[in-house]
Structure 1
Amino acid sequence: MDHWAGKVALVTGASVGIGAQITKALAKSGMKVIAIARRLEKLEELATNINRECNGKVYPMKCDVRQEEEILQVFQRAEKELGGVDVLINNAGVASPETIIEGSTETYRKILDVNVLALAICSRQLVQSVKKRKASGHIININSVAGHYAESINMPISVYCASKYAVTGMTASLRNEIVNAKLDIKVTSISPGMVKTDMVTDILSNMDKEARKSFADLPVLHDVDIADAVIYCLSMPLRVQICEVIIMPHEALATKNPRPYARS
């Protein structure tokens, strides 16, 4: 991580869970971290704790990634106050316990806005920032095994799987475009299995008792595991680009079906 020391990272969906752990890990590694989410009070609390515990530099900024103008304002502030963004962690994501066949159009839109369109907008702005400064950059998309093995996801999560397949495709397209443009930006997709987060808890809480029981004993990852993967990818030598990381709970690989569920 030495080559990123003092550089600027931006983490979306940073207020809790995976995003909060990634923010902490980046700050401990010597980066200046812009943490964005809708709940500013949560971000400020996170920043206070990190800055006190590990002498980090976390800059909380309120942003609803469904609103393009708010994303653009964050990048403008980053350029004005910190010189620009070098590392982007596209972590913000939503799911829903609704089925597709009986779900609401608003739910479809919300999932696609957050999981796909916001990721595209943030990635575009990162590339433009790095290109303008003739610098180096890294985009890491927090994807999901749901974006690779939708057939193994048998719980209702609306168009979440479709959104994560879009992330898989977009990651590849971004990498090709960046290579063609001869820019020094790496692009990585990290695809975890089920992670113990508020979002997964909320989905399970909306299931009936019998359905919840079937998932109660499944092995899960922890948010810090994903943060460790982010640091691993960023720590590679400059000559190395990790394109895809799939992370599963060790116990899950001992089952007959090693891909029985999705992360968020």
Structure 2
Amino acid sequence: MVLSLSRWIGKVAVVTGASSGIGAAIAKQLVENGIKVAAFARRKERLEELTDKLSDKNGKLYPVKVDITKEEDILNGFKWVKENLGPIHILVNNAGTGGQGSLTDGDTETWQNVFQINVIGLSIATREAIRDMKSNNVDGHIIHISSILGHQVLSIPGLNVYPASKFAVTALAETLRLELNSLKSKIKITNLSPGLVNTEKISKWYKQSEHLKKIVEEEQILDPADIADALAYVLSTPPHVQIQELTIRPVRESDF
């Protein structure tokens, strides 16, 4: 099996939640490999800063302000991409959120926001990307950035509905794979499930958890660039190879 990203050079990728953390690292990785990246996020100023940093790379970053909780924003974002960049070949569903709280006395609005971003927004983006791929006869690739918490529930205080949302992402990936198979489509779907990654979200959480703080300080944690490298591996496989599920965890990561 020959691994190469060359077939994606000059093609269009959409990355959601691209203003920081894993999303920004993925956008950087793709741009460096000659791909045109439409970076979706609410914080457009952060996207513009990233665009400046990547201005000398082989590909190009295009900042697009999109609030993944709003269907109209998502639809307008995809419309802009199709009208200005061309057919979509790659979609990375990275946007995600957690929200602190519990199931016994949690906030309904927080729960709704988690599912709106992690599940509904992801599903809308996936639908729009596949519609575009099918209409342009593109054998593209959809990648969901899920979590190990989409496969097992760990004892981390305050997770509330977050694992449930990521279990949903895992199920959505497999349901989509079966659906694409039934359509005899060559579009690929990968569910990429990281363990602990040193992102803004984790930095907020570990301040409230001595155990998590110890894990971060002992470097039992991944860097966003590690996830971007894993995604590059997934995309580098030849057309007949599909990485259905890829779990990436730091060495010695605790199960809490």
Gaps of 5+ in 2: none
Q: 1:215 aligns with which of 212, 215, 220?
A: 212
Task: Note if contact 1:149-1:259 (Cα within 8 Å) is conserved in structure 2.
Answer: no
Report the count of equivalent residues: 248
Whether 1:15 and 2:19 are equivalent positions in the alignment is: yes
Secondary structure of 2:40's counterpart equals strand
Structure 2 matches for 1:78-97, cutoff 5 A?
A: 78-97=81-100
By how many angstroms is 1:65 displaced?
Answer: 0.4
Does the CA contact (< 8 Å) of 2:35 and 2:58 recur in 1?
A: no
5 Å matches for 1:242-253?
242-252=243-253
Match status 1:32 vs 2:33: no
Aligned-residue offset at 1:135: 1.2
Helix, strand or coil for the counterpart of 1:188?
strand
Per-residue Cα deviation, 1:29-58 (whole angstroms, up to 9, x for no partner): 111000010011000110111123x24310
Is residue 49 from structure 1 mapped to residue 53 from structure 2 by the alignment?
Answer: yes
Q: How far apart, in 2, do the equivalents of 1:80 and 1:183 lie?
A: 24
Aligned-residue offset at 1:214: 1.6
List aligned pairs for 1:85-164, cutoff 5 A.
85-150=88-153, 152-164=154-166
Query: Is 1:182 equivalent to 2:179 in the alignment?
Result: no
Q: 1:143 to 1:244 in 2, by over 3 A?
A: same
What is the distance in 1 between the residues matched to 2:94 and 2:185? Answer: 23
Q: Give the corresponding residue for 1:255.
A: none
Read off the aligned partner of 2:213 and give its amino acid letter. A
For residues 137 and 238 of structure 1, the distance between their equivalents in structure 2, rounded to whole angstroms, comes to: 9
CA distance in 1, matches of 2:213, 2:69: 32
Corresponding position of 2:64: 61
Query: What one-letter code is carried by the residue in structure 1 that aligns with 2:187?
Result: I
- Structure 1 residue 251: deviation in Å? 2.1
Q: Per-residue CA shift, 1:227-261, capped at 9, x if unaligned?
A: 00000000011110000011111122xxxxx533x
Where does residue 227 of structure 1 map in the other structure? 228
Please say if residues 22 and 226 of structure 1, whose CA atoms lie closer than 8 Å, have aligned partners that are also in contact. yes
* Counterpart-to-counterpart distance in 2, 1:30 and 1:56: 4
Moved more, 6-15 or 214-223: 214-223
SS at match of 1:200: helix
Deviation of 1:86 after TM superposition, in Å, equals: 0.9
Contact 1:115 1:163 in 2 (8 A): yes
Indicate the SS of the match to 1:111: helix
Q: Which amino acid aligns with 2:23?
A: G
CA contact (8 A) 1:88 1:123 kept: yes
Shift of 1:203: 2.2
State the Cα distance separating 1:154 from its structure 2 match. Answer: 2.8
The amino acid across from 1:41 in the alignment is E
Unaligned 5+ runs, structure 1: 253-257
Q: What's the TM-score once normalised by structure 1's chain length?
A: 0.91
The answer to whether the 8 A contact 1:146-1:153 is kept is no
Instruction: Report the Cα distance in structure 1 between the residues aligned to 2:156 and 2:18, rounded to whole angstroms.
Output: 28
The answer to whether the 8 A contact 1:147-1:168 is kept is yes
Output the TM-score relative to the length of structure 2. Answer: 0.94
- The one-letter code matched in structure 2 to 1:38 is R
